[in-house]
């Protein structure tokens, strides 16, 4: 007989999923009720308001898609695009490349703006490309590029989209809850996120939000959305407002309790306070990393506090280090992706995992494992530097 699966206890400091509060795990184990139960519908209305707070938006079309961030991405593209549309897509890492895939699979054309990995999207280049492509329907870019740890200037880019009368599409899967994001004030038309990064909920849900202008585009399509499951015109029969909700698909009831709880926790802390906490812990971590003699891939002015891409020192096998951290410390950090594979570690300080204990654990563990493998680092300096940062700030 197969025994019950009991996962080990880990500290999750990779690119997601991040550690989850015990309150979120408790929420998952609450009794299941029907997805059309009036009490469940009341919870859904609260969840929508909590998401509007997290996104800083009054958008009516705000809901969690019943699938991971990738499905949120797909929801945005399949609902807004029709065959023959042109979209300017910015790529400065893995996820911009996935946007291109989505655009092309919708039968639309992706006009690419490519930047080096580790750099933010080049605003001047986007300005030139939009000017050269007046028929572009949308500008799509990633707010927080999880593959490199670079933050792009959302406000500057949505400003350009507005100047050129095209829609702005923003991937903030890793941004939401961790760094400043103001959907209405910044004029974002369509945005998707994920539950398992800075919101510190279980994976499998993707909050999305659409401006009234984007909602109009969806309502006035000339062709049906090719995906039945992700067609928001149908999904809204369930997630729309008012008493009357009808069945579209069975909502992931307990996962939605968990997202509700994660967002209640965010609201209790306060959005600005959460952004500040992510920054504070990042600065302590960075002080330690630099004291050890390691360096960051991304320069300080556009570095994400929640995703730290740290360069692997010479003559060190990065996979061996990750395996040791997992085996000896129960600590998970991420490997590099794409062009950065083998060259960097991606160390997350996301949501519930962004705390002093994790910063100090990770620095101490890296110090020990790297020293043991003979890497040339400043032994013992990292933890002290981070502790000094916490003492002084
Ligand atoms: C994680 C991530 C995604 C995909 O989310 P999944 O939940 O893994 O499907 C998309 N974009 C970015 C920037 C991400 O970090």
CB atoms within 10 A of CB 112: 15
Ligand 1 and 194: CB distance under 6 A: yes
Specify the pLDDT at position 140: 98
pLDDT for 139-148, tens place per residue?
Answer: 999 999 999 9
Specify the pLDDT at position 122: 98
The residue whose two tokens read 């083998």 is 342
Specify the pLDDT at position 240: 86
Name which residue sits closest to atom 2 of ligand 1, judged by CA: 173
pLDDT for 183-214, tens place per residue?
Answer: 999 999 999 999 999 999 999 999 999 999 99
Name which residue sits closest to atom 12 of ligand 1, judged by CA: 173
Query: What's the gap in Å between 28 CA and the centre of ligand 1?
Result: 22
Domains 21-268 and 271-392 share a fold: no
Query: What's the gap in Å between 194 CA and the centre of ligand 1?
Result: 7
pLDDT for 231-268, tens place per residue?
Answer: 999 999 899 877 678 999 999 999 999 999 999 999 99
Name which residue sits closest to atom 3 of ligand 1, judged by CA: 69
Percent of the chain residues past pLDDT 70, beyond the cut? 99
Query: What's the gap in Å between 31 CA and the centre of ligand 1?
Result: 29
Query: What's the gap in Å between 44 CA and the centre of ligand 1?
Result: 23
Ligand 1 and 146: CB distance under 6 A: yes
Contacts of 280 (CB under 8 A, 6+ apart): 393
Ligand 1 and 69: CB distance under 6 A: yes
From 3.40.640.10, 3.40.50.1000, 3.40.1190.20, 3.50.50.60, which CATH number describes the 21-268 domain? 3.40.640.10
Name which residue sits closest to atom 5 of ligand 1, judged by CA: 69
Let me know: does 362 contact 382? Beta carbons within 8 Å: no
Ligand 1 and 16: CB distance under 6 A: yes
Task: Give domain limits for the chain.
Answer: 21-268, 271-392
30-39: long-range pairs with CB below 8 Å, 24+ = 30/254, 30/257, 32/253, 32/254, 33/253, 35/250, 35/251, 35/253, 36/245, 36/247
Ligand 1 and 171: CB distance under 6 A: yes
Ligand 1 mutation target, pool 194, 230, 304, 338, most atoms within 8 A of CB: 194
pLDDT for 156-175, tens place per residue?
Answer: 999 999 999 999 999 999 99
Ligand 1 and 68: CB distance under 6 A: yes
From 2.60.120.20, 3.40.605.10, 3.40.50.261, 3.90.1150.10, which CATH number describes the 271-392 domain? 3.90.1150.10
pLDDT for 121-131, tens place per residue?
Answer: 999 999 999 99
Query: What's the gap in Å between 69 CA and the centre of ligand 1?
Result: 5
pLDDT for 304-352, tens place per residue?
Answer: 999 999 999 999 999 999 999 999 999 999 999 999 999 999 999 999 9
| SS3 per-residue string spanning the chain | CCCCCCCCCCEEECCCCCCCCHHHHHHHCCCCCCCCCHHHHHHHHHHHHHHHHHHCCCCCEEEEECCCHHHHHHHHHHHHCCCCCEEEEEECCHHHHHHHHHHHHCCCEEEEEECCCCCCCCHHHHHHHHHHCCCCCEEEEECEECCCCEECCHHHHHHHHHHCCCEEEEECCCCCCCCCCCCCCCCCCEEECCCCCCCCCCCCCEEEEECHHHHHHHHCCCCCCCCCCCCHHHHHHHHCCCCCCCCCCCCCHHHHHHHHHHHHHHHHHCHHHHHHHHHHHHHHHHHHHHHHCCCECCCHHHECCCEEEEECCCCCCHHHHHHHHHHHHCEEEEECCHHHCCCEEEEECCHHHCCHHHHHHHHHHHHHHHHHCCCCCCCCHHHHHHHHHHHHC
């Amino acid at each position: 007989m197969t025994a019950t699966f009991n996962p080990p206890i880990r500290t999750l400091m990779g690119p997601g999923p991040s550690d989850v509060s015990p309150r979120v795990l408790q929420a998952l184990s609450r009794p299941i009720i029907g997805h059309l139960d009036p009490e469940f519908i009341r919870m859904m209305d609260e969840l929508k308001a909590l998401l509007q707070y997290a996104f800083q938006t009054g958008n009516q079309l705000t809901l969690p898609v019943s699938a991971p961030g990738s499905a949120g991405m797909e929801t945005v593209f399949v609902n807004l695009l029709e065959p023959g549309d042109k979209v300017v897509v910015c790529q400065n890492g893995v996820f911009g490349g996935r946007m291109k895939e989505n655009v092309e699979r919708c039968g639309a054309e992706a006009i690419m703006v490519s930047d080096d990995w580790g750099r933010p999207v080049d605003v001047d280049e986007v300005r030139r490309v939009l000017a050269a492509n007046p028929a572009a329907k949308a500008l799509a870019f990633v707010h927080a590029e999880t593959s490199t740890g670079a933050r792009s200037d959302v406000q500057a880019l949505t400003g350009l989209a507005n100047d050129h009368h095209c829609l702005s599409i923003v991937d903030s899967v890793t941004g939401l809850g961790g760094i400043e994001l103001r959907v209405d004030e910044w004029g974002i038309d369509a945005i998707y996120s994920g539950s398992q990064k800075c919101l510190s909920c279980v994976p499998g849900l993707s909050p999305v939000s659409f401006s009234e202008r984007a909602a109009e585009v969806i309502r006035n399509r000339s062709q049906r959305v090719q995906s039945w499951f992700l067609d928001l015109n149908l999904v809204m029969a369930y997630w729309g407002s008012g008493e009357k909700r009808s069945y579209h698909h069975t909502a992931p009831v307990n996962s939605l309790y968990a997202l509700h709880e994660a967002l209640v926790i965010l609201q209790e802390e306060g959005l600005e306070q959460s952004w500040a906490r992510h920054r504070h812990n990042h600065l302590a971590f960075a002080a330690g990393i630099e004291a050890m003699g390691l360096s960051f891939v991304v320069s300080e002015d556009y570095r994400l506090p929640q995703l730290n891409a740290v360069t692997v020192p010479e003559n060190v096998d990065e996979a061996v280090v990750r395996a040791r951290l997992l085996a000896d410390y129960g600590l998970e950090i991420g490997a590099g992706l794409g062009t950065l594979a083998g060259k960097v570690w991606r160390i997350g300080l996301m949501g519930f995992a962004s705390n002093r204990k994790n910063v100090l654990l990770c620095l101490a563990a890296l110090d020990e494992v790297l020293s043991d493998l003979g890497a040339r680092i400043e032994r013992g300096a990292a933890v002290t530097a981070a502790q000094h940062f916490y003492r002084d700030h």
